[in-house]
Each structure stands twice: as structure tokens, then as C-alpha cells.
């Protein structure tokens, strides 16, 4: 079950300059930043607003930390801009299974660690009208089916 737009991922070459742009232009503040070695990115989450389910919507700015990362390859091919849209879910495993039952392919056989220890998976853009789609379960939203997948 999808509960909200969790975030929109934006590929950038200079994380600090991108943060400054969104702070100056829109007043967005960084609420979390980290380096995700597994994915080869340095990232920042900028809060946009709260949502009805108690969560929030964010912009996720992604700067590659190495040339073989997905974001580095994306930047080389497409340049800076929207990389993906992420939907929040209380159970990433169940939501992934629902999508695969409709014929949508997933990128990972099991969820991986995302920002702030969330559980994530991606739906193939060729099956989602050209949009790379991420499913995100917050770390504090563990359910029995997802707890067994970590």
C-alpha cells in the first residue's frame, strides 16, 4: 500500500551547491545527510512538508562518490535532474510483491538499506512508463514481513 510521495531523487554534481540553491530559492532545510557507500552517493534529504499519515515529503539530492555508481552513470548520460520518484509504504516487501504480481519487475530480489536505515526497492522504469520508481519503508515502520527481509 502506497501512503504518500516520500521523496523525489535529484542527481547533482555538487551537493553543497544544490543544497544552497534549494535553501535560497525555496527555503528548504536539510534534515538528514549521509554517505551511502553501498550505493556510492553522498546525499541530503530536504523536507518539503508534512503529510496526512504523519510522514513528510522530501527532495533527495544525490551526488556520486565514485565513477561506477548508478548516479555517476546517470549524470554522464542525462546530466543533472530528476532521477526517480519514491513512494512511502508501511511494508516494502508486501508492496513490492503486489507490484510484481501485476507484471512489474524489481531491481533487487530483496529490499536494501536506504537513507536513515530505511528499507528500499526499485521498480524497473521500463515497466513504470519510463519512471524509475522507489518504494521506501521508514526504519521505524517495521512490519513482520519486512522485518524478516533485512
Q: Is the pLDDT of residue 61 over 70?
A: yes
pLDDT-based confidence at residue 1 (cuts at 50, 70, 90): confident
Instruction: Using the predicted structure, report yes or no on whether residue 3 has a pLDDT greater than 90.
Output: no
Confidence of residue 51 (pLDDT cuts 50, 70, 90): low
The pLDDT value given to residue 141: 64
Residue 23 grid coordinates? 535553501
Q: What's the pTM value of the predicted model, to 2 decimals?
A: 0.85
CB-CB neighbours of 120 under 10 Å = 20
How many other β-carbons are positioned within 10 Å of the β-carbon of residue 111?
20
- What domains lie within the chain, and their CATH numbers? 4-147 (3.10.180.10)
- Predicted local distance difference test score (pLDDT) of residue 140: 82
**pLDDT-wise least confident of 47-51, 60-64, 71-75:** 47-51
* DSSP secondary structure of 21-64: HHHHHH--EEEEEEEETTTTEEEEEEEEEE-TTS-EEEEEEEEE
Residue 7: exposure state from Cβ atoms within 10 A (0-12, 13-18, ≥19): buried
Mean pLDDT, to the nearest integer, of 12-22? 98
User: Each residue of 86-120: pLDDT tens digit?
Assistant: 999 999 999 999 999 999 999 999 999 999 999 99
- 9 has pLDDT over 90: yes
Residues forming the active site: 7, 43, 60, 84, 134
What is the three-class DSSP state of 84? strand
Residue 146: all three cell numbers together: 519486512
pLDDT of amino acid 146: 33
Hey, what's the cell of 64? 556520486
- Look-up: residue for cell 504523519? 54
Strand order in the sheet with 133-137: 29-36, 41-50, 56-64, 4-11, 81-88, 133-137, 119-123, 112-113
Amino acid at each position: 500500500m502506497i501512503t504518500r510521495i516520500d521523496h523525489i531523487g535529484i542527481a547533482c554534481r555538487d551537493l553543497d551547491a544544490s543544497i544552497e540553491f534549494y535553501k535560497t530559492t525555496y527555503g528548504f532545510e536539510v534534515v538528514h545527510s549521509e554517505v551511502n557507500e553501498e550505493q556510492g552517493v553522498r546525499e541530503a534529504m530536504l523536507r518539503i512538508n508534512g503529510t496526512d499519515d504523519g510522514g513528510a515529503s522530501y527532495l533527495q539530492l544525490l551526488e556520486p562518490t565514485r565513477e561506477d555508481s548508478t548516479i555517476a552513470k546517470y549524470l554522464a548520460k542525462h546530466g543533472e535532474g530528476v532521477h526517480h520518484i519514491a513512494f512511502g509504504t508501511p511494508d516494502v516487501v508486501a508492496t513490492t510483491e503486489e507490484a510484481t504480481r501485476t507484471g512489474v519487475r524489481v531491481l533487487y530480489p530483496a529490499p536494501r538499506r536506504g537513507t536513515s536505515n530505511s528499507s528500499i526497492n526499485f521498480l524497473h522504469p521500463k515497466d513504470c512508463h519510463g519512471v524509475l520508481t522507489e518504494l521506501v519503508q521508514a526504519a521505524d515502520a517495521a512490519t513482520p514481513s519486512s522485518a524478516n527481509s533485512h
